[in-house]
Amino acid sequence: MPNDDVKIKVRNLTKYFGDLHVLDNISFDVKKGEFLCVVGPTGCGKTTFLNLLTKLIPPTSGELYINDEPADPKIHNISFAFQEPSAFPWLTVEQNLEFGLKIKNIPKDVIKTRVERIIKLLGLEQFRKSYPHQLSVSSEQRIIIGRSFAMYPDLLLMDEPYGQMDIKMRYYLEDEVIKLWKEFGSTVIFITHNIEEAVYLAERILILSNKPSTIKKEVVVDLPRPRDFTDPKFVEIRKYVTELIKWW
């Protein structure tokens, strides 16, 4: 891979909780506008990995660089779409989408145009004044995705946001994520248990090993979009990744 357009650099990321060695010396690069998926077996320190990338907890050693600067949520735009429902129940759909932008003290008119754009792209016009509990679970998840993209993030992390959805819905929402990603050109790291999902979405897949986690393998997915899960090439990559995970 040529090293021209690197946006995110992760260098020697290591984490101990007391004596428990969770992450071991993880290094990788993400190019600007790349869609990267991370998969791994259950209990591979996935949550820790994410919390380190979002700077929610400090690493034992190693660092994350955005545009060659050490990452800092106060300077950089980092968005995190959590697995559990994380829309603020006391804010309307519109206010939820504005939330991060307001924290960044972005001018009001900019906020307005951005939120309008997201609402339009997601087709949420009729729900703009609704509270999250008045929406279906899938719509609530779409607000969170929208809220993340509205930041024009330097780095967008997604933690299996569609874990509980049925397959049809999953593919619909995943297509929506691809649409937003292409529209905004964001740099995305998407973490999932579901290998099929990873192959469907990613340009590149990182496979994590069991604790202490390291990067076991890197798989490039260069299938054209839209992808088809019955396509023999798709099935082949899926099988390959599954085998890699089953190894240990």
Residues forming contacts to another protein in the complex (CB under 8 A) are 42, 54-56, 58-61, 63, 70, 72-80, 82, 84-86, 88-91, 99-100, 102-104, 131-133, 136, 138-139, 151, 160, 163-164, 166-169, 171-172, 193-194, 229-230, 232, 235, 238-239, 242
Of the pair 32, 55, the CB lying nearest another protein is at 55
Of the pair 138, 210, the CB lying nearest another protein is at 138
59-70 burial: b if 16+ Cβ within 10 Å, else e: beebebebeeee
Token couple for 74: 């106060």
Of the pair 104, 108, the CB lying nearest another protein is at 104
Residue ranges of the alpha helices (H) in the chain? 46-53, 93-103, 108-122, 137-150, 167-184, 195-201, 232-246
> At 129, which amino acid appears?
K
Min. distance of Cβ 70 from another protein in angstroms? Answer: 4
Of 80, 71, 28, 52, whose CA–CA distance to 208 is shortest?
28
Min. distance of Cβ 1 from another protein in angstroms? Answer: 26
Min. distance of Cβ 131 from another protein in angstroms? Answer: 4
Token couple for 174: 């995943």
Min. distance of Cβ 2 from another protein in angstroms? Answer: 27
